[in-house]
Amino acid sequence: MTLSASLNSGCGSSGGTCGCSGGASASAGLSAAGAAPLSAPQELPTATINGVALHPAGQRPLEYALRERAYAELLRQRAVAQELLAPHEGDLAPELGEAERQVLECMVDTDVQSPEPQEGECQRYYQAHTTQFTVGQALHVRHILFAVTPGINVQALAVHAEKALLELSHKDAAPDRFAQLAAELSNCPTSMQGGDLGWIGPDDCAPELAKELFHQSHHQGSVGIHPMLVHSRFGFHIVEVLERRAGVVPSYVEVQERIAAQLTLQSRSKALRQYMSLLVGQALVEGVDLEGSDSPLVQ
């Protein structure tokens, strides 16, 4: 994991709604003496790390960018304390150049030690996550999508979807009822084909669907109406599995290196989070929310 990746704790986007209005009511804000003066704009707080400002006064960046600056400044100050970088004169955090970032990369590599996965750990992971390694598996699936769109009442939508699922799960449901409801209710273009998605594999659908349909051992081998709504980034799905291709599970030896690399990455990510959390806990952080701890690192 690179330093830039470890510092970026935001999604990269932000939004909001302007609190201003185009005009004022003739009676709004009046006092006994007449119209009240307009209030002064609220001053944006200045975020600081140990007294060093992360941005000029009144120029607060978006929260994700502010957190990234905060983590970078924490690392810069640690490097200064270790005499790896020269002290900075001034009350505003400096921009880091490529040379400074290289110094911080090396410092983090030295400070953060994560254990290598052991053979037994890799074998246990393989046994517990066999479905993740299965190749060639596929499902013939149809679905009804209740899409979550801006402004929709999500709770009411879920209730509506549950009612349809209950009807389709009933033992007396007509064989063509699924296709009828898909045509009436589904927000997916497949509604005109009775909701039929055809044959799909784990990489052909949203991760939430893949997890529920392919990676849950208690659903392996089953066909028919999925007993619960499946929630995805698109909304609520009623899913029916029409046919299954089981696929082949590779041997442990075939995926051993892949497992070791995955566990190494997970261990490294955990150690980096703990490292940054400890730096936060040891610093005076003002004006920005960071997760911190004052306890020693525990691998």
Q: How does DSSP assign 136-163, residue by residue?
A: S-EEEEEEEEEE--TT--HHHHHHHHHH
Determine how many CB atoms are found less than 10 A away from the CB of residue 139.
22
Is residue 148 exposed (0-12), middle (13-18) or buried (19+ Cβ within 10 Å)? middle
Q: Are residues 66 and 83 located together in one domain of the fold?
A: yes
What confidence tens digit (pLDDT) does each residue in 149-171 have?
999 999 999 999 999 999 999 98
Residue 144 in contact with residue 178, Cβ under 8 Å?
yes
Burial class of residue 22, CB neighbours in 10 A (0-12, 13-18, 19+) = exposed
The whole-chain average pLDDT of the chain stands at 83
Q: Are residues 110 and 211 in the same domain?
A: no
Least confident stretch, 63-72, 127-136, 185-194, 245-254: 127-136
In a domain, 86, yes or no: yes
Q: Can you tell me the mean pLDDT for 182-195?
A: 95
Statement to judge: residues 55 and 192 lie in one domain? no
Q: Give a yes or no: residue 39 inside a domain.
A: no
My answer on whether 71 and 202 are in the same domain is no
Distance CA 101, CA 107 (A): 10
Instruction: Using pLDDT thresholds of 50, 70 and 90, give the confidence band for residue 43.
Output: low
Last residue of a domain, which of 230, 245, 260?
245
Both 237 and 148 in one domain: the answer is yes
What does the alpha-carbon distance between residue 237 and residue 226 come to, in Å, rounded to a whole number? 10
Q: Is residue 215 included in any domain, yes or no? A: yes
- Confidence band, pLDDT 50/70/90 cuts, at residue 182: very high
Residue 3 lies in a domain: no
Sequence-ordered strand ranges (E) for 43-158: 48-49, 52-53, 138-147
Both 181 and 55 in a single domain?
A: no
The CATH number given to whatever domain includes residue 216 is: 3.10.50.40
Element (H, E) at 164: helix 154-169
pLDDT band at 215 (very low <50, low <70, confident <90, very high): confident
pTM for this predicted structure:
0.55
Query: What three-state secondary structure class fits 239?
Result: strand
Query: Does residue 270 sit in the same domain as residue 235?
Result: no
Residue 263's pLDDT is 94
Band (217; pLDDT cuts 50, 70, 90): low
pLDDT at 189 over 50: yes
Q: Is the pLDDT at 47 greater than 60, yes or no?
A: yes
Identify the domain boundary among 225, 245, 265: 245
Q: In the prediction, which pLDDT does 20 show?
A: 35
111 and 184 inside one domain:
no
Q: What percent of the chain has pLDDT over 70?
A: 81
pLDDT tens digits, residue range 272-290? 999 999 999 999 999 999 9
Q: Which domain holds residue 237?
A: 136-245
Q: Given this model, what pLDDT does residue 128 score? A: 87
* Position with higher pLDDT, 207 vs 13: 207
How many domains, in total, are found in the chain?
Answer: 2
Band (pLDDT 50/70/90 cuts) for residue 16 is very low
